[in-house]
């Protein structure tokens, strides 16, 4: 199952957070497909001096996802994992019909 994982953290902790992110990226049962860091305030309401990283992650199970999210939370990273459905480009109508049934 694929997830968008939003990770918010204090900019002052970036070096520590980077080490933890590299460590949890090697967790069995999950694969990070892409990772991005917003270069500005990602959305209104984000606290000052807060960075936002967004990762596209494929996890084999909820346990595999928890194995990465829990250590990040202990380090002070606020995470939000949102399940997403991959829809092929140019095939949205086909996908919609499939799920309408």
Residue ranges of domains in the chain, CATH in brackets = 2-100 (3.30.70.60)
> What is the rounded distance in angstroms from the CA atom of residue 18 to the CA atom of residue 29?
21
Res 80: pLDDT:
93
The model's pTM is 0.82
Q: What is the pLDDT of residues 13-68, one digit of tens each?
A: 888 888 888 888 889 999 999 999 887 777 788 888 888 999 999 999 999 999 99
Q: What is the pLDDT of residues 53-70, one digit of tens each?
A: 999 999 999 999 999 999
> What is the rounded distance in angstroms from the CA atom of residue 93 to the CA atom of residue 25?
35
Q: Which of 4-8, 16-20, 77-81 has the least mean pLDDT?
A: 16-20
């Amino acid at each position: 199952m694929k997830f968008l994982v939003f990770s918010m953290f204090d900019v002052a902790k970036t070096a520590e957070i980077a080490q933890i992110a590299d460590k949890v990226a090697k967790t069995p049962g999950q694969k990070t497909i892409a990772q991005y860091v917003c270069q500005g305030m990602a959305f209104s309401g984000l606290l000052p001096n807060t960075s936002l990283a967004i990762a596209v992650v494929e996890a084999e199970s909820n346990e595999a996802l928890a194995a990465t999210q829990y250590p990040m939370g202990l380090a002070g990273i606020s995470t939000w994992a949102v399940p997403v459905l991959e829809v092929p480009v140019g095939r949205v109508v086909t996908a919609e019909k499939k799920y309408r049934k």
